[in-house]
Chains A and B, each alone.
Chain A
Amino acid sequence: MIEIFNIFIFVLLVSLLILPNKSILVSLNKGNTRYSTFEISSLNLLLILNIIWFSSVIDIRKIYTFLVILSFLTINLTIFLHDLNKKNLFKNESVSYLLIFIITFLISIIIAHVLFFSHDVRLFWFEKTIMFYNDLFVTSDDTIKPEYPHFGTYLWAFLWKFSFLDYEYFGRIFYTFIYTFSIYFLINKIKFKKNFIKYFIFILIILLNFKMKWFDGRQDILIFSFNLFVFAFLHELIFNKSKQTIHAIGFLLTINLLLWTKNEAMLYIFSYFIAILYYIKGSRRFVILSIIICLLSIKFIFYEFHNIEAHLNRDTFPSPSNFFTYILSLDLQERVPQVFFWYIVGIIRNPILLLSIIFLFFIFLENKKYFMKHLYLFYIYLIISIGIFFVYTISTYDFPFHMIGSFGRVFLQFSMIFLIPVLKFFEYKKMI
């Protein structure tokens, strides 16, 4: 019972971190814009995650970072208690916060019950986590994949270290919190006629894509969640043509986290880069793209400085010296149809992506003008798909084993890409 009580308290404290008090970041914004509670909460969460990332790259002692976060929590809680009597503190979102808390707690129970790690987690990710748990830095990485980005494992180790019971799964509970919050944040972009529908869709999405294996420490669930933040911010920046700094900052903070979580995030970042380049006009475009290039440079310099090999994936890509010889030796006639086949299987196996594509097809037939407004998502999807085709076709791993084994988690990462256009269409039609 002590363990359950600890999980409950842990989830509660984590939830308190994102209470919708105006963070420093929001105060910096000089415009008189009124933000939604979830936008403030999302920035609180992204800010905390970036503080943890920062401590991971400068190798500061974890206790100091913990104290910073603890202060953040205390300030948040103090303001919250001070404003408790004020009406409309949560702007009618109190049930939403409660729901996020309950769902995170329930998934945490499942995580604490099934302690199984899959092959990749045992071999790479958990080894990195243990390294950070033992207060070592990336330079001491003697795992077989030192080139894999470290942020997710650092986060895992960080929350494991400061959990009350010193069990590793507390780090993974934080992953769960990011997951549930990001889903809610995305669907909160839709104006539902009734809150009940919103709660129902939120739970339905979780039921449709929940698999225990996503929470065993693999980093795909983080990529999935960060992609959701990006989709929500891109919706504001491109679709709503938002001029608010908060959206651009939120977008860039998320891009930074993506960059340090998993190597395949480079493909997503590239597609977002192209979308921004094409759809956002003026100085805003220049600023956002320059910052993305800066973030990429920081990573590159960091890898260079610490002598970490900045190879995307040694097992997947042939070495540059014999790249073309290798490509010419491939039986493309055999490979390309297989990749295509498994690509289709990947879509079919992902209920959310499959349903979104089916709905979008009908939306296209019904209202082409509406469809065209979300064209930026199709460009992103196209770039991601081309990237997937390219990587799996030239993979030096066992073929088709590599593809069969990893398509599920790869499709999970961007599976919610079309959720906003689909739900927005129903909103537009006053159906939800």
Chain B
Amino acid sequence: MIKKKKNKIEFIIVLLILFVFVFIFEIPRKFFNISRLTYDERLNISYDFCSDRSVGFINYVKNKHDIKNSVNFIKYTGVRNPNWIFFDRSSKQEDEYHILLNYNNDNEIFLERINKNTFRYKFDPKYNHRIFKKIVIENLENLDNYEISIHNNLIIPKDTVISKLNSKTIKSNAEIYLNESNNKMMQSQQKQEKNITIKIKNNQNKINDDLKIKFKLEHIYKIKDYEIIEKINNCYLVAKK
């Protein structure tokens, strides 16, 4: 009687383990997928095709164009080291090809207002490889003098004044062109994945509630300068013209 009961328990345990392997770990489904899909197809499914990591696209162009060695990447995504797809490191990097990931033409960044006189651009990799051309301030009141500064937090945190506007010169929308050093500082913040904070002050310390700030950007790598070999969504395989 006891032996029968023990056998029953053992049988139930075996059934439970089988249940876990079949329904939790989904072994049969994975078995089926491995037999149905190739290694590359499974690799593409495990990642995305052309968004964050873009493994699908890289794998696709690697196979289609028989690219053996690693290539130059121009990334507009947060992915690090997309080169891992290229296993052959016996020879040097291919200089002929460039892969642009998530290339986009969004050349305006609207800054988020975080308090009365502080505006923030929260780092986004899609704005990589850009020149920070100018800052546009909308809905200024023409009655006052303004001081615009960038909070530089790269080495020693400090505010760098980039422009002073006075009531005689400004219109309701002001455009501040960034000089070489300010542009470099902002590019450097972008490269180090840091937020950029703009502070705006006036002598009465009253800032219009409707005030908006945006950055105008320009591409460093212009797609028209390259020969497009492959384009799928925002991912490109290009060669220098």
Q: Is A294 positioned at the interface, with any CB of B under 8 Å from its CB?
A: no
- Enumerate chain A residues within 8 angstroms of B34, measured Cβ to Cβ: 3-4, 109, 112-113
How far is B55's CA from A264's CA once the two chains are assembled, in angstroms?
31
Pick from A136, A165, A196: contact of B10, CB under 8 Å: A196
Name which of A58-66, A121-129, A182-190, A321-329 contacts chain B. A121-129
A117 an interface residue at 8 Å Cβ cutoff? yes
Question: Taking the complex as formed, is A207 at the interface, i.e. its CB lies under 8 A from any CB of chain B?
Answer: yes
Contact of B46 among A1, A114, A119 (CB under 8 A): A114
Contact: B30 with A113, CB < 8 Å? yes
Is B89 located at the chain interface by the 8 A CB criterion? yes
Interface residue? A106 (CB, 8 A) = yes
A-side contacts of B84, CB under 8 Å: 117, 122, 126-127, 130
B33 within 8 A of A: yes
Whether, in the assembled complex, A426 has its beta carbon less than 8 Å from a beta carbon of chain B, the answer is no
> CB distance B80 to A123 under 8 Å?
yes
Bound Cα distance from A196 to B31, whole angstroms: 27
Complex interface: chain A residues within 8 A of B80 (CB) = 119, 122-123
In contact, A3 and B39 (Cβ under 8 angstroms): yes
Task: Determine if A12 is an interface residue (Cβ-Cβ < 8 Å).
Answer: no
Tell me the nearest residue of chain B to A5, going by C-beta: B35
Cα separation A113 to B35 with both chains bound (whole Å): 10
Q: Which stretch of B17-25, B94-102, B154-162, B179-187 is in the interface?
A: B17-25
The reply to whether A130 and B81 contact each other, CB–CB distance below 8 Å, is no
Q: Is A110 engaged at the interface, CB distance under 8 Å to the other chain? A: yes
Instruction: State in angstroms the CA–CA spacing of A168 and B88 once bound together.
Output: 12
In the assembled complex, the CB of B182 is this many whole angstroms from the nearest CB of chain A, namely 27
Q: Which residues of A contact B27 (CB under 8 A)?
A: 106, 109-110
Tell me if B73 is interfacial: C-beta within 8 Å of chain A.
Answer: no
Chain A proximity mask over B23-63: 1 for CB below 8 Å, otherwise 0: 00101001101110001001100110000000000000000
Cβ of A432 within 8 Å of any chain B Cβ, yes or no, is: no
Question: A314: shortest Cβ distance to chain B, in Å?
Answer: 17
Partner of B13, one of A110, A136, A200: A200
B33 partner residues in chain A, CB cutoff 8 A: 113
In the complex, which of the residues B31, B81, B89 contacts A134, with contact meaning CB atoms closer than 8 Å?
B89
CA distance A210 to B17 in the complex (A): 14
**B6, chain A: closest CB distance, angstroms:** 9
The reply on B169 being an interface residue by CB < 8 A is no
| Given known contacts A113-B33, A116-B47, A134-B89, A123 and B13 CB-to-CB distance under 8 angstroms | no
B-side contacts of A210, CB under 8 Å: 25
* Beta-carbon contact of A110 and B87 below 8 Å: no
Known: A126-B84, A167-B39, A203-B17. A115 touches B46 (CB 8 A): yes
Does A116 lie within 8 Å of B46, measured CB to CB? yes
Determine the distance from Cα of A84 to Cα of B77 in the docked complex, in whole angstroms: 59
What are the residues of chain A within 8 A of B39 when measuring CB–CB? 3, 115, 165, 167
- Is B90 interfacial (CB-CB < 8 Å)? yes
Instruction: Give chain B residues whose Cβ lies under 8 Å from the Cβ of A127.
Output: 81, 84
- Decide yes or no: A130 and B47 within 8 Å by CB, A4-B35, A115-B39 being known contacts: no
| Residues 269-286 of A contacting B (Cβ, < 8 Å) | none
**In chain A, residues 201-220, which have Cβ atoms closer than 8 Å to a Cβ of chain B?**
203, 207, 210
Within the complex, the shortest CB–CB distance from B136 to chain A, in Å, comes to 33
Q: Which of B132-173 contact A (CB under 8 A)?
A: none
State the Cβ distance, A4 to closest chain B Cβ, in Å: 6
Complexed CA–CA distance, A136 and B84 (Å): 16
A148 on the B face (CB < 8 A):
no
Residues of B near A168 (CB, < 8 A) are: 87
| A-side contacts of B21, CB under 8 Å | 106
Q: Does A53 contact B (CB under 8 A)?
A: no
- What is the bound-complex CA distance between A322 and B32, given in angstroms? 57
Q: Which of A60-106 contact B (CB under 8 A)?
A: 106
**Is A131's CB within 8 Å of the partner chain B?**
yes
In the complex, are the beta carbons of A131 and B89 less than 8 A apart?
Answer: yes
Given contacts A4-B34, A113-B33, A122-B81, contact A130 B42 (CB under 8 A): no
| Contact B90–A134 (Cβ < 8 Å) | yes
Q: Which residue from chain B places its CB closest to the CB of A144 in the assembled complex?
A: B81
Complex Cα spacing A117 to B46, Å: 9
The interface residues of chain A lying within 8 Å CB-to-CB of B35 are 1, 3-4
Residues of B within 8 A of A116 (CB): 46-47
Whether the pair B89, A130 counts as a contact (CB closer than 8 A) is: yes
A1 vs B46: C-alpha distance in the bound complex, in angstroms? 20
Q: Which residue of B lies closest to A166 (CB)?
A: B87
Give 1 or 0 for each of B1-12: 1 = CB within 8 Å of chain A CB. 000000000100
Interface residue? A251 (CB, 8 A): no
With both chains docked as a complex, state the minimum distance between the C-beta of B109 and any C-beta of chain A, in angstroms: 24
Q: Top 3 closest A-B pairs, CB basis?
A: A113-B30, A116-B46, A134-B89
Beyond A106-B21, A115-B42, 5 additional contacts (C-beta under 8 Å) are: A1-B35, A4-B31, A110-B27, A117-B84, A122-B81
A-B contacts, 20 of them at CB < 8 A, read: A3-B35, A4-B35, A106-B25, A106-B27, A109-B30, A110-B25, A112-B30, A112-B42, A113-B30, A113-B33, A115-B42, A115-B46, A116-B47, A117-B84, A122-B81, A127-B84, A130-B84, A134-B90, A165-B39, A168-B87
